[in-house]
Chain A
């Protein structure tokens, strides 16, 4: 699943570590989500949506609907 985490993070000038701290997860987790190696659960996706004040579909892109 593609996502815009890197862009959103850059807009706020946050490092992966900063985002990890805000999400209360490891930096490794943020990196894995950002690079599309790991799809977050719904609760974590909602947490990201709240943090970036955007709806989930603006952060994550369903690869099936994109094709």
Chain B
């Protein structure tokens, strides 16, 4: 992340994403794609995937929060804040647009399980673009 000096905050975040965030994200996407979630489970059983999805969201927010707290390099911190804002803004825009289309029966309902992975995808793309911009 820092090109030439060691960045403990960045290293910690990468470890947390690799060992906590990614397994939860992969489980989330797999469950969303294969429909293992709510459809095939009854009442109490459906709480398990629901809790898993919620945990993933909380885990990533905590990971990002800890990184922003630990990062000593203010410019890198600023880049992550910008990337997160792009992620939040674009995700809200897309789901609002999509939701309007659904209201007028112009599109199928959006699977809400994909909202967080969409946010993550846009945030990562924004982060890459910002890195390239400030090379």
B104 to chain A, nearest CB (A): 43
Residues of A within 8 A of B103 (CB): none
Bound CA span A31–B75, Å: 10
A-B contact pairs, 15 of them (CB 8 A): A17-B3, A20-B2, A24-B5, A24-B72, A24-B73, A25-B5, A25-B73, A26-B4, A26-B76, A28-B131, A29-B75, A37-B134, A38-B78, A38-B134, A40-B75
Cβ–Cβ contact A27 & B74, under 8 A: no
- Given A17-B4, A21-B4: A26 touches B75 (CB 8 Å cut-off): yes
Q: Across the interface, do A25 and B75 meet the contact criterion of CB distance under 8 Å?
A: yes
Count, chain A residues at interface, CB 8 A: 17
* A65 interface hit (Cβ, 8 Å): no
Known interface pairs A33-B75, A38-B75, A38-B78. Does A28 touch B134 (Cβ–Cβ under 8 Å)? yes
- Number of interchain pairs (Cβ within 8 Å): 54
B96 in contact (CB, < 8 A) = no
Q: 10 additional contacts, CB 8 Å, given A17-B4, A28-B131?
A: A24-B73, A26-B4, A27-B3, A28-B2, A29-B73, A29-B75, A29-B76, A33-B75, A40-B74, A40-B75
The contact size tier of chain B is 10 to 19
Chain A residues positioned under 8 Å from B76 (CB to CB): 25-26, 28-29
Binding site for A on B (CB under 8 A): 1-5, 7, 72-76, 78, 131, 134-135
Could you tell me the distance in whole angstroms from the C-beta of A10 to the nearest C-beta in chain B?
Answer: 18
Complex-state Cα separation, A32 to B2, whole angstroms: 13
Contact B2 A26, beta carbon cutoff 8 Å = yes
